[in-house]
Chain A
Amino acid sequence: MRRAPAAVLVALALGLMPAAASAACPRASLPDIEGQVMCLVCGVPLNLADSPQASRERDFIERMIDRCRSTSQIKAALVSQYGPRVLALPDDSGFNAAVYIVPALMLLLGAGGAALAVRWWSSRGGGAPAPAAPALSPADARRLEAEMERWER
C-alpha cells in the first residue's frame, strides 16, 4: 500500500510538467509578429494581408510558436526562408535607405523653412504690435455706458 502515495506524487509531477514547460516557453504571439513582418506577395504588413501566401506565412509562424521559439528566433527563421525583405523594417541600402533618409531630410528642410519664414515675416514687420484703438469721445463714452446699463437690466 506504500505504492499509492508514490503513484500520487508521480501523477502530480506529470500533471505539473506541461505547466512548467509552458512557463519556460517564451510566449511569442502571432499578432505581435504579424505586425513586424511583411506579406511578400501583397507588399503590406502580414497583419493587413489576406492572401494564400500570407496564410502560409502565418501557419509557419504558428508552427514556430508551438515549438516554443521566441519572437527573434521566429523572425530569423522567416528571414532564412524568405530573405530579409520579409522584415517590415527594411534594410538601409539602396532605394530602401530612403525610408531612413527622407524623414530626417524632411525634418531638416522643415526646420530650415520655418527659420526662413520667421526671418522673412519679421523683416516685413509682421511681428510689430497692432496700433492701439483711438480713445472714445465723451459723447460716445456716455452712449456706451447707457447701452451697457440697458443690457444689464
Chain B
Amino acid sequence: MIRLRSPVMLAALAPALGLLDLLAYGVFVNQPERGIDAALAAGRRPAAPDLRLPRLGATQPVSLNAWRGKVVVLNYWASWCPPCRDESPLLERWQKKIAPRGGTVLGVDALDVTSDARAFMRRYGLDYPMLHDGDGHSQRRFGLTGYPETFVIDRRGRIAAVQRGTVDDAFMSRSVLPLLEERS
C-alpha cells in the first residue's frame, strides 16, 4: 500500500497541485470586471479607466482624457456585430444632437479589420471620433462581455451609466441629457 508521505505520492501530487494553482490563476485573471456595475448600482460614479488607443487607421494612441470636460458616450462596437448595425443610426443622430452642447459619441471599434470598420462607417454615415482596439485589450477594464456596450462618462471623467447591449432613445435621454447640464 502506498502511504501519503511516500516519495511516489509526493512526486505525483506536486505537479497536480501546481497545475491546479495555474488553472485557478487563469480563471481568476480572466474573470470579467464587474466593479463598474457594482459602483453604479451603489449610486457612485467610478472613474473611467484610462483608455489609450489609436484613432481608426492611425498608430499614435490618444487618451480618453483628451475628451475630459465633455460628456462622452463611449460605444464599443465591431463591423461584424449585427446589433451594432441597428444601433449606429441612433448614435449618429445623438452625436448631432449633443455635439453643440459639449458632448460627443466616441466609438471604439474592437477586434475588427480597419477596412471593414471604415466601410461600415461610410455605409452608416458615422462621423463621430473613432478609436481602434484591434486585439480588444481595453475591453477587459470596462468589463465587456459582448457587443455593443456603451458607457456614459461625465465631464469629470467618471462613468455615470452603462448599457450592456444596444442603446435606445430612452436610455440616451435618461443618461446623457442630465449630464450635459452639469458643470465640469
A residues adjacent to B (C-beta < 8 A):
40-41, 52-53, 55-57, 60, 80-86, 95, 98, 102, 105-106, 109-110, 112-114, 116-117, 119-121
A40–B29 contact, CB under 8 A? no
Q: Give the number of residue pairs across the A-B interface with Cβ within 8 Å.
A: 70
6 new A-B pairs (CB below 8 Å) besides A41-B136, A83-B135, A105-B18? A56-B116, A60-B113, A102-B19, A113-B8, A116-B7, A119-B7
List, sorted by A's number, 6 A–B pairs whose CB atoms are closer than 8 Å: A55-B80, A56-B80, A80-B134, A83-B135, A113-B11, A113-B15
B137–A116 contact, CB under 8 A? no
- Which partner residue on chain A sits nearest B78 by CB separation? A53
Say if the beta carbon of B75 comes within 8 Å of chain A: no
* Distance in angstroms between the alpha carbons of A80 and B136 in the assembled complex: 13
A120–B6 contact, CB under 8 A? yes
Write out the residue numbers on chain B whose beta carbons fall within 8 Å of the beta carbon of A102: 18-19, 22
- Which partner residue on chain B sits nearest A117 by CB separation? B8
Write out the residue numbers on chain B whose beta carbons fall within 8 Å of the beta carbon of A41: 111, 136
The residue in A57, A105, A117 that gathers the most chain B C-beta atoms within 10 A of its C-beta is: A117
B residues adjacent to A (C-beta < 8 A):
6-8, 10-12, 14-15, 18-19, 22, 25-26, 29, 78-82, 111-114, 116, 134-137
B26–A52 contact, CB under 8 A? no
Write out the residue numbers on chain A whose beta carbons fall within 8 Å of the beta carbon of B14: 109, 113
> In whole Å, how far is A7's beta carbon from the nearest beta carbon of chain B?
41
* Distance in angstroms between the alpha carbons of A110 and B79 in the assembled complex: 48
Write out the residue numbers on chain A whose beta carbons fall within 8 Å of the beta carbon of B19: 102
